[in-house]
Amino acid sequence: MDDLVRELIPQVIGLLVRRGAGFAAAEDAVQEALVEAVRRWDDDPPTDPKGWLVTVAWRKLVDAGRSEAARRAREERVADEPPPGPAEQADDTLLLLFWCCHPALTPASAVALTLRAVGGLTTRQIAEAYLVPEATMAQRISRAKRALADEELGRPGDLRAVLKVLYLIFNEGYTGKVDLAAEAIRLTRLLARASDEPEVAGLLALMLLHHARRAARWSADGALVPLAEQDRASWDTGLVAEGVAVLQAALARDRLGEYQAQAAIAALHCDAASAEETDWPQILQWYDELLRLTGSPVVALNRAVAVGEVDGALAGLAALRGVPDGVPRRAAVAAWLHERAGDVGRAAALYAQAAAAASNAAERDHLTRQAARLATR
């Protein structure tokens, strides 16, 4: 039943909002309806679960409207309870996804609201995924709802904003108890089925290709395993094949975007039977294209690694000089390049510096081990 409920939650919220309910009120009403569903469905499951949730949630909305004078204007729009029977079959999940990515919201708020309203996750699950207290996440979600209450929901976020939110969710993928990477892939698949935009397919391909390497990213004792040292036999070849097929179809549209370029780089890594066989010259070409598209200092940082692989460590260090000092992981890349250039002492110091600035424990431990390894030399 859990999977069915998670699928129905965004559909029911979206339907209520489309009928005129406020976003926050609709979300609260659906949560109350779910409480009743948990209590009743085991003994007497409905033949039309969506219709049941819509009817009960709508009744909750009407009851709330009648109890508060401040909501009388809205009550006039929603007072007529829908007649019993099958619910509308339109799936409002995507409409709700765009609303959750409204321009009025910060990226962090949009991510939290998307996981809550569209992903069907509880506030506690989202908090665990982001390693923050539940109260902190509850406040973030409440602020997002209040922000939307003052906005016209006929103006949802644009596609670029939605893709950014999904990308942010995926990048948090493996930090907590909830598998946000899998949730991001599920939502992106949903979007891809309804959109012919190449960048949607590009993001889906990128996620699939990265997710294919998941099992190899960690050792048995939980240590981070760099890409070059991963056991490629444990990569999910089915996900790799799907990701490559999705990417090829997107590239054939000849409307290149940053997610397609990132996916092309990931595909080249997945295509190499070993680290030594990686096609670094072609990866460097894609980084050049990606830098042209984005101008991002993070892309420039990753490009410096590719330059180091293609033209040597000194060339990589020269490319790194154009990357601002405040870019995350810059010290780690500098350490790697200095080590390859033979400057072990400088590399050890930079690994220690990078470890101190690491954003999570696994990365910090890995960089600390690299610093210790060089210090013993």
Query: pLDDT tens for residues 218-257?
Result: 898 888 999 999 999 999 999 999 999 999 999 999 999 9
* Burial of 86 from C-beta contacts in 10 A (0-12 / 13-18 / 19+): exposed
Tell me what pLDDT residue 79 has: 47
The per-residue pLDDT for range 161-184, each reduced to its tens digit, is: 899 999 988 987 665 556 788 889
Q: How far is CA 319 from CA 129, 237, 312, 313, 331, in A?
A: 35, 34, 11, 10, 14
- pLDDT category, 20, cuts 50, 70, 90? confident
Task: Give just the sign of the alpha carbon dihedral 21, 27, 29, 33.
Answer: positive
Cβ pair 29, 154 in contact under 8 A: no
The whole-angstrom separation of Cα 154 and Cα 95 is 10
Tell me what pLDDT residue 74 has: 45
Report the percent of the chain where pLDDT is more than 90.
50
The whole-angstrom separation of Cα 87 and Cα 51 is 4
- pLDDT category, 211, cuts 50, 70, 90? very high
Q: How far is CA 90 from CA 10, 84, 97, 329, in A?
A: 12, 17, 15, 45
* Burial of 269 from C-beta contacts in 10 A (0-12 / 13-18 / 19+): buried
* Residue 218, φ and ψ in degrees, nearest 5: -130, 140
Kindly tell me the number of DSSP H helices and DSSP E strands found in the chain.
19, 0
Q: What amino acid is encoded at 224 in this protein?
A: L
The per-residue pLDDT for range 53-95, each reduced to its tens digit, is: 888 888 888 877 666 544 454 445 544 545 444 444 446 788 8
pTM reported for the whole predicted model: 0.80
Residue written as token pair 């010290």: 331
Q: In 3D, which of 169, 158, 159, 179 has the Cα closest to residue 109?
A: 169
CA atoms within 13 A on the CB side of 182: 8
**Tokens (6 digits) for 357:** 């600035």
Task: Give just the sign of the alpha carbon dihedral 17, 21, 23, 24.
Answer: negative
* Residue 224, φ and ψ in degrees, nearest 5: -70, 135
Of residues 92 and 268, the one with the higher pLDDT is 268
- pLDDT category, 367, cuts 50, 70, 90? very high
Cβ pair 94, 194 in contact under 8 A: yes
- pLDDT category, 154, cuts 50, 70, 90? low
Residue 218: strand pairing partners: 224
Residue 313, pLDDT above cutoff 80: yes
Residue written as token pair 């390894």: 373
